[in-house]
């Protein structure tokens, strides 16, 4: 297989500034709703990129759980690599790859923990099995075998056999407040349409970028 020969054209349609909402969050919500209605697989899946103290970037796939005028929210173990890196460097980038509709969205901003009450409210909405997994897993830390992990899940299931499972104090949400959001629509002959919103005070500017 020759990787340099793998290519396809992007022919699903263009994007003009007149098509865009003046507010990037509203524009994002519109595109996300379209992705959901088209039944794309994992439409809320996003790459989360953080940077460690040495400047080494790291990425992983996380699910977006909330979005509104305040920003983008995801949840994680606060002992995980991404959470530890964000505690030292709040800068973050998100990327939504909607390949089937030839669209991408990139978000740059800063992340901070949401309140414990907000995290607890979401935690209680999760399936019980996911709640138990959050308690059992020391995310990003070495574990010798999967069997050991499952044994820890069993212990948590026994511990919380009665009543609601409380949210762990080591688990919760981050809210990403964006200062830059780029919308990308694939175009023929690699002439893609790209528009970037950049925050200036309380307002947003929009500029077309060369593909």
Instruction: Give the residue extent of every domain in the chain.
Output: 3-117+175-208
Q: Can you give the pLDDT at residue 55?
A: 95
Catalytic: which of 175, 190, 199, 208? Answer: 190
Predicted confidence (pLDDT) per residue in 113-132, tens digit = 999 999 999 999 999 999 99
CA dist 86 and 49 (Å) reads: 10
Q: Can you give the pLDDT at residue 150?
A: 95
Cβ proximity of 157 and 134 under 8 Å: no
Q: Can you give the pLDDT at residue 2?
A: 83
Q: Can you give the pLDDT at residue 99?
A: 95
Q: Is residue 103 flagged as an active site residue?
A: no
Q: What are the two backbone dihedrals, phi and then psi, of residue 38, each rounded to the nearest 5 degrees?
A: -80, 0
CA dist 102 and 96 (Å) reads: 11
**Residue whose tokens read 């740059």:** 108
Q: Can you give the pLDDT at residue 1?
A: 75
Q: What are the two backbone dihedrals, phi and then psi, of residue 85, each rounded to the nearest 5 degrees?
A: -70, -35
Which residues in the chain land under pLDDT 70? Answer: none
Domain 3-117+175-208 homologous superfamily, CATH: Electron Transport, Fmn-binding Protein; Chain A (2.30.110.10)
- Binding-site residues for substrate, please? 7-10, 65, 122, 126, 130, 190-192
Predicted confidence (pLDDT) per residue in 139-148, tens digit = 989 999 999 9
Helix axis angle, 146-159 to 128-136, nearest 10°: 120
Q: Model pTM greater than 0.75?
A: yes
- Binding-site residues, please? 7-10, 60-65, 75-76, 81-82, 104, 122, 126, 130, 139-140, 184, 190-192, 194
Could you tell me which residues come within 8 angstroms of residue 140 by beta carbon, excluding any fewer than 6 positions away? 77, 79, 80, 81, 82, 84
Q: Can you give the pLDDT at residue 9?
A: 78
Q: Can you give the pLDDT at residue 126?
A: 96
């Amino acid at each position: 297989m020759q990787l340099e020969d793998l290519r396809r054209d992007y022919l699903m349609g263009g994007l003009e500034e007149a098509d865009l909402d003046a507010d990037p969050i509203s524009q994002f919500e519109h595109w996300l709703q379209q992705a959901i209605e088209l039944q794309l697989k994992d439409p809320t899946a996003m790459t989360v990129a953080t940077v460690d103290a040495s400047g080494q970037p790291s990425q992983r796939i996380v699910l977006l759980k909330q979005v509104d005028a305040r920003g983008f929210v995801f949840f994680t173990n606060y002992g995980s690599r991404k959470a530890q890196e964000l505690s030292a460097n709040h800068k973050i980038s998100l990327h939504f790859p909607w390949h089937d509709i030839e669209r991408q969205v990139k978000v740059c901003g800063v992340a901070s923990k949401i309140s414990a009450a907000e995290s607890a409210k979401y935690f209680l909405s999760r399936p019980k099995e996911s709640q138990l997994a959050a308690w059992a897993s020391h995310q990003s830390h070495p574990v010798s075998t999967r069997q050991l992990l499952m044994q820890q899940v069993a212990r948590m299931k026994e511990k919380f056999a009665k009543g609601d499972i409380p949210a762990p104090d080591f688990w919760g949400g981050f809210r990403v407040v964006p200062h830059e959001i780029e919308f990308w629509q694939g175009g023929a002959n690699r002439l893609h349409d790209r528009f970037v919103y950049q925050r200036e005070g309380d307002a947003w500017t929009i500029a077309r970028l060369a593909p």
